Amino acid sequence: MLMRTDPFRDVDRLAQQMFGAMRPAAMPMNAYRKGDTFFVQLDIPGAAQDSIDLTVEQNVLTVRAERRGIDAADELLVSECPAGTFTRQVFLGDTLDSEHVEADYTAGVLTLKIHVLESAKPRRVEIKVGEHRDQIMA
């Protein structure tokens, strides 16, 4: 199971109500499950693939990416796209295989593929009839 936390969510909601403004979402995320695999998609438009750093430590997956801004020598007319270094953390549950995370970066979207551990998958338990009844009832 993925666990999501954003300590600034309530502050953003309050600021939006009071001032009508919200901080830009630097790395919007979608997360979903297909069978025994979790997928996490992070939007990082304009970031070069070599500027993306992905680490896993103590069940915390951290994504860092850099998006370069407009060259200071150029005349800036409009500036709506955030630039700089962005970080996003995703807390992974103990049932996920954090040792084998797969990552793909296509069209500005970083897609992470995380499998459920074999030991965490449901399995059938064989039921025996009539054997060791005396031992169980004692």
Would you state the pLDDT for residue 63? 95
Q: Which H or E element spans position 122?
A: none
Residue 75: predicted pLDDT: 87
Read off the DSSP letter of residue 71.
-
Tokens of 24: 């830009």
Asked if residue 23 lies in contact with residue 6, where contact means CB atoms within 8 angstroms, the answer is no
Q: Which domains does the chain have, with CATH numbers?
A: 2-17+27-120 (2.60.40.790)
- Name the 3-class secondary structure at 86: strand
> 76, 105, 78, 101: which is closest to 90 by C-alpha?
101
Q: Which residues of the chain have pLDDT under 50?
A: 21-22, 24
Tokens, residue 98: 């954090």
